[in-house]
Amino acid sequence: MDGIYIEPLQRYFEKYYTTDLGQYKFDKTECNTCVHNAANYNLFAEHNGCGHCTNRKCLEAKNAAHVAKETEKLLKSDPKLVVARPYYGSRNDMALQKLDKKGHEIKELDYNVSAREFPKAPEAPKKEQFTQTKEYEQAVQTFERRNEEYARKVEELDRMKEEGRIKTYVKVGQTEPELCYVEINRKETAPVTIGTLQERDKRFKQLSIEKTVADTKKIVRENDYPESSFTQYEDGMVYFAMLAQLQRRHFPLFGIKDQPFALDEKQRMKIVAKLTDTQKTVIKRDFISHFLCENGHGDNNASKLLRDFANMHFPDQYGLVKATHEEEYQKRHERLEERIKEMKKAEKKAAREAEKQQTTEKTEKKTTAPKTEKPESGKAA
């Protein structure tokens, strides 16, 4: 009974709740005495190899650290090597993240790019593994044939690499890094030089800044501001933003003449560094003017504020504009009032005529209606 139930339960436990440590390449000295190693507490008293790990998080961390370390060894062996992240196939994403954080270049391969693994050297047979001499000799012959094929493939790939027909990468596998190569169009191939590496460095710096800015936007948008006083530096930020709406006719006030386009960021930063009260006033009023002009429509609040703003600073011009349009409105209003008055008169007249017509019709009906004769009294019916 024990054998019937224990063995299936053991296989189920090891398959779904443990991981075979023998599949991993990292140093497992610590695992030999670890409490999470099933070999150290296996209730079924049987285990294979190094045992099975029940702490998957620890296992993945150790494995990723090992794979990343081995990958760095390969990269140091050839400065031109680059880590590749293939579109297809398994990869160790945790190890890739470690390499990315350390600043290693990671090439994203498109879905239509096939990354092929370099051939691996065949393993020579060991005589002690065979019981018969003939079997061992056959294994040696097979090994020699495969080793020759391996040497030919390596030689061919080296030649293709020198000719620029393939590009070599390091693929970060699940348990170890592997060299792989991609066939490329010779016309599109450019040799790796110090200049190209420096250009890559510039691009990586740019990407670093772009990613930092993107994450910073999330921080600013998603968090509440801590309670604190508004600083002078923040005040400068406000003016930097408002300067984007500075009118060109005010450029000379800031030492800028004959510039047909808006201020660029360098000019705005330079202006913000040294602002006078007069300049601050102009900047704020230009910003208010731009905002109210853009958002003032009909009789909304922005429109009312715009009119008040104009009346404060340009009372004569605003007064003339207002009077002109109000006078125009008044004339139209009076004409419409006259038309309304005439229409009301016509409606009343029509109503009286209709009423008169109804009265006449009623009178005519009474006049033309036939009279009924009453029978004489005393006569027989």
pLDDT band, very low/low/confident/very high, at 359 (cuts 50, 70, 90): confident
Determine the pLDDT at residue 280.
Answer: 96
Residue 189 has pLDDT above 70, yes or no: no
Q: Write phi, then psi, for 52 (nearest 5 degrees).
A: -125, 140
Residue 322 has pLDDT above 90, yes or no: yes
Rounded to the nearest 5 degrees, what angle is found at the Cα of 232, between the Cα atoms of 231 and 238? 95
Q: Lowest-confidence range among 93-102, 111-120, 136-145?
A: 111-120
- Neighbour-count burial of 134, counting CB atoms closer than 10 A to its CB (0-12 exposed, 13-18 middle, 19+ buried): exposed
Same domain, 170 and 216: no
Whole-angstrom distance, CA of residue 93 vs CA of residue 64? 8
In a domain, 141, yes or no: yes
Same domain, 160 and 103: yes
Same domain, 71 and 178: yes
In a domain, 360, yes or no: no
List C-alpha distances in Å: 165 to 76, 87, 158, 182, 314: 23, 21, 10, 9, 74
Residue 129 has pLDDT above 70, yes or no: yes
Q: Which residue has the tokens 């600043």?
A: 103
Sequence-distant (6+) residues with CB within 8 A of 105 are 82, 83, 200, 204
In a domain, 275, yes or no: yes
Determine the pLDDT at residue 372.
Answer: 58
Residue 121 has pLDDT above 60, yes or no: yes
Give the range of the structural domain holding residue 294, as residue numbers without chain letter. Answer: 232-313
In tens, the pLDDT along 18-46 reads 578 888 889 988 888 898 888 877 655 45
In a domain, 14, yes or no: yes
DSSP state of 299: T
Number of domains making up the chain: 4
Last residue of a domain, one of 255, 279, 313: 313
Same domain, 197 and 184: no
Same domain, 114 and 152: yes
Determine the pLDDT at residue 5.
Answer: 56
In a domain, 164, yes or no: yes
Mean pLDDT of 329-351: 91
In tens, the pLDDT along 203-256 reads 888 888 988 999 999 999 999 999 999 999 999 999 999 999 999 999 999 999
Same domain, 89 and 170: yes
Same domain, 248 and 172: no
Same domain, 185 and 206: no
Whole-angstrom distance, CA of residue 225 vs CA of residue 60? 38
Enter the pTM of the model: 0.49
In a domain, 207, yes or no: yes
In a domain, 330, yes or no: no
Same domain, 28 and 42: yes
Determine the pLDDT at residue 302.
Answer: 94
- Neighbour-count burial of 272, counting CB atoms closer than 10 A to its CB (0-12 exposed, 13-18 middle, 19+ buried): buried
pLDDT band, very low/low/confident/very high, at 314 (cuts 50, 70, 90): very high
Residue 16 has pLDDT above 70, yes or no: no
Sequence-distant (6+) residues with CB within 8 A of 119 are 150, 153, 154, 157
List C-alpha distances in Å: 12 to 7, 9, 44, 247: 9, 5, 12, 76
pLDDT band, very low/low/confident/very high, at 297 (cuts 50, 70, 90): very high
Q: Which of 277-281, 327-331, 337-341, 369-373 has the highest mean pLDDT?
A: 277-281
Determine the pLDDT at residue 380.
Answer: 47
Same domain, 198 and 185: no
Q: How many Cβ atoms from other residues are within 10 Å of residue 81's Cβ?
A: 19
Q: Which residue has the tokens 């702490």?
A: 55
Mean pLDDT of 283-297: 95
Task: Provide the mean pLDDT of the chain.
Answer: 85
In a domain, 85, yes or no: yes
Same domain, 285 and 185: no
Q: Which of 8-17, 113-122, 214-223 has the highest mean pLDDT?
A: 214-223
Same domain, 19 and 127: no
